[in-house]
Structure 1
Amino acid sequence: MAQLKGASEDVVIAKLQPLIRGWTNYHNGTVAKETFNNLNEYVRWKLVRWCLRRYPKNKSWEWIKAKHFGKFCPGREDNHVFGRKDNYLDKAQWTNITRHVLVTHNYSKDDPELQEYWKKRQEKNGKKAAEGALSKGRNKIALRQKYTCPYCGQPLGEYNNVHLHHIIPRENGGKDEAGNLVYVHEDCHRTIHALGASNPEIQEKLYRAIKTRPRNRKKSQKVQTRLSKD
């Protein structure tokens, strides 16, 4: 961070992101959760110092914090993420610990009785590959879908050929929130928009994949629901 005192926010993220993501992905098979939390606190302390150096003393910390920290990660309810919505810094503590399980010496891929075992192992390895390819918040969205495109039902595959789709389009009031976001293949995304992204049947299909519904009830409806329970 010493070399980044005068750098822009984008440069800081570009320098730190691969270091944090690479280091945590490499060590996520060890007992490292406490270390990840400590690393996160250290990085946050450094970022706060970087922020304070950039502005004159008449700028309050609340003003600086509102400018550089917020709920920018679409898959997480975290209000202290550094950056902005289109470019933010991952936190080390978001990395899940995933134990590596060795293959038993006599477990052959050619054994027909072990096909289910190898299928589950392949799925697990695919999940770990996705965690390394996606930011932590976006991986949470993909995990909720079980790494499958909800439109065609096929695995998402390479993450350079997928699109983070708004189920309710932004022009119709859809928000950049986890409950309104889903990964689809680029081809599926084009098909969805060709048929109409506001099509209720398509939206229902995508919502079934993530098992959420938009909360648009009016206040009177909420009161009636509470009274009926009483």
Structure 2
Amino acid sequence: MNNSNVDYLGFTIRLRRKGNKLTHSTEICKNNQDKIYKVLKEQIKLVIKNPSMKNILKYNQIIVGTHNYFKYASQVCINLNKINWKLYFTINKMNKLRGQPNTKFKNFYNRKYGKYKTFSVNNIDLIPIAGINHIYAKPLNQVISFYTTEGRNLIEKRKLDLSELVQTFLNRRSKYYSLEMLNFGASLIHAQKGSCKITGLPLDDNFHLHHIIPRSKGGKDNYRNLIAINERYHNMIHWNKSVDKQDKMLKYYIEDINKYRKLAGIEEIII
């Protein structure tokens, strides 16, 4: 890089020196920030002029689309906060249309946008412009490949690791599970690439098979109704109202945990 700043696919990459190392930060490029501001301002004017469901949903779609595309920019929160402040007076003009948040989606908004205030227009909650957190983009492992000896060895090593996990599972659970359940469990290990369905982290030797729809409510012992998850998070799904909300990991996976609690007919956890 000859320059400290490079624009690429709507992002600005800034290269900085930190001690003896070079580090970088990413943000929404200036042109795109201006474009987002103008598009949102025009859409807000349309909502004020005609607060139809179509116009309000279009406003929300613009924000969700922006969040989804730029969530990997490390400075996305700062960028969107600036846009939000620039639109402050324009948004305030919608106050005459202001209604109470839609209680139907209260839990969803509390989980996703809890710290951001919102209000509804025509009984549709407006998604907060700055309601986003930066997501770390994991780099691809470029060594893994079918075309090099090293890459093929890594692929085989991964397969071997899963085989060991499958064998451990079969040995440990053969006394408790039917042959059919054991086959489903082995298949899930490979389908989930040895990862916990809740966290994405590697399955440990004591992982559990969770019934998405409990057997007590008609759930079947079949592949589609099972997921493989680590014991700690399986317990979280089945916790009762006395749930230990102090568990440090709960807040990171609360959305997925609540999804499976809801499917199991268990009350969602609010933290």
TM class by smaller structure: 0.3 to 0.5
Point out the structure with the larger helix share.
1
Point out the structure with the larger strand share.
2
